[in-house]
Amino acid sequence: MSKIITQPLPVQSSDEDDPLLFGSPKERLDFYRREIQYETSLLSNRTNAYLTAQSFLVIAFASSMANLNPEWGKLFTLVVPCLMALLGIVSSLNAWPGIRAAYLIIDHWHFKQSNLLHSKPAMGLAYDESPLFNELESSHKGFCKSLLFSMRTPWLFIGFWLLLGSFCLYIQFTNPGG
C-alpha cells in the first residue's frame, strides 16, 4: 500500500491584509473612490429611469382622467386611472430594492474609505489638508444627505399614487361635479 504524503496548505490571508493587492494607501483610497463614483452613477441612473417612468405614468393618468366619452367614459375613468395608480405603487415597490441596494453598497465603500483615512494618520492628514477634499466628503452624515432624494423618491411616489387613486375613486363614487 502506497501513501501520498502531502503538506498542509498555507493559510491565505484576506485580500484586505494582502499588501500586493494595493501598492499603497493612496491606491486603496483611489480604488474606494472609483467604487463610490461607480455605484453613485448606478444609483443616479436607476433614479433617473424610475423618475422617467413615473412621469410618463402621471401623464397617462391625467389623460385618462380627462376622458369625456359619453358612452364609456365613466367606466374608463374609473378603471384605467385606478389601474395606473396601482401600477405606480407596484413600480415604486419594485424600484425600492435596487435603490436601497445601491445605497448600501455606497455606504459600505464610504465606511471602508473612512476606516482607511482614520487608520492611516498620515493618509488622513494629507487628505484633510488637500484643498479638494474635506471631512464632510468622507463623513457618514455628508454622503447620507446627498443620497436622500434617491432614497425618498419611491416612498413619495407611493404616497402620491395612493392619494391620486383615492381621489379618482372619490370623484367617481361621490359625483362632486354633478
Q: Mean pLDDT throughout 47-58?
A: 96
Please say whether the dihedral angle defined by the alpha carbons of residues 39, 40, 45 and 49, taken in this order, is positive or negative: positive
- Spatial separation of the C-alpha atoms in residues 168 and 5, rounded to whole Å: 79
Q: Between 8 and 83, name the one with better pLDDT.
A: 83
Q: What is the pLDDT of residue 95?
A: 95
Q: What is the pLDDT of residue 114?
A: 83
| Sequential DSSP letters for the chain | ------PPPPPPPPTTT-TTT-SSHHHHHHHHHHHHHHHHHHHHHHHHHHHHHHHHHHHHHHHHHT---TTTHHHHHHHHHHHHHHHHHHHHHHHHHHHHHHHHHHHHHHHHHHHHHHH-HHHHHHHHHSTT--HHHHSHHHHHHHTHHHHHHHHHHHHHHHHHHHHHHHHHHH-TT-
**Nearest residue to 85 (alpha-carbon basis) of 173, 151, 159, 152:** 159
Q: What is the pLDDT of residue 37?
A: 93
Q: What is the pLDDT of residue 137?
A: 54
Query: pLDDT tens digits, residue range 4-44?
Result: 666 665 555 555 555 556 678 888 888 989 999 999 999 99
- Spatial separation of the C-alpha atoms in residues 31 and 27, rounded to whole Å: 6
Taking every pair of Cα atoms in the chain, the longest distance, rounded to a whole number of angstroms, is: 99
Single pTM value for the model? 0.73
Query: pLDDT tens digits, residue range 123-171?
Result: 655 555 554 445 555 566 777 788 899 999 999 999 999 999 999 889 8
- Spatial separation of the C-alpha atoms in residues 5 and 155, rounded to whole Å: 62
pLDDT surpasses 70 at 116: yes
Q: Cell numbers 463623513 correspond to what residue?
A: 139
pLDDT surpasses 90 at 74: no
CB 162 within 8 A of CB 89: yes
Q: What is the pLDDT of residue 106?
A: 92
